[in-house]
Structure 1
Amino acid sequence: MTVKSRIEYRLTEALSPERLEVLNESHLHAGHQPGFDGGGETHMRIRIVAAQFAGKTRVARHRMVNELVREEFDAGLHALAIETAAPGEPVVW
């Protein structure tokens, strides 16, 4: 199972999102560190719309997502960009 699919599974199970995109952006970071060619699944972006975010601050939303994918950092995920919204909020992505 890939990092992307594990993240999708965990977020879907926990948050039942209306919309979810998990993007591998590792290739955008090639050359940022010596020897890193942008391969693999080290830099991910999550775009998610879920009812559980209603009434929560941006920080609280990010904490929720980070807690759900914590194991991926232990397994080698280096960076995670998170874009959240509750249903009915404007989405700019």
Structure 2
Amino acid sequence: MELIKEQTSLAILGNDRAVRIPSQIIKQLNLDDNQDMTITIENGSIILTPIRKNPTNIHELFKEWQDDGKRDHELDWGKSEGNELPW
């Protein structure tokens, strides 16, 4: 991971303060808009840690998947090994 060191400042946001995170850092960490994070203080530093949520349904699991459209037949996943439904 590339080391990035940038300067930013506190901005007033209602009764709270906000810090802008540069887009280069957002891209490198693959953060989303409205990303949930934990905030901790350690050795006089503020640490923001993204909360990575596990997908809760098939749509979230495959939201980034793009079909290449190169299959003209069904995929063979091999012999059933568990409680799969017979076809």
Please confirm whether the aligned pair reaches a TM-score higher than 0.5, indicating the same fold. Answer: no
TM-score normalised to the size of structure 2?
Answer: 0.24
More helix by share: 1
The TM-score with structure 1 as length reference comes to 0.23
Structure label with greater radius of gyration: 2
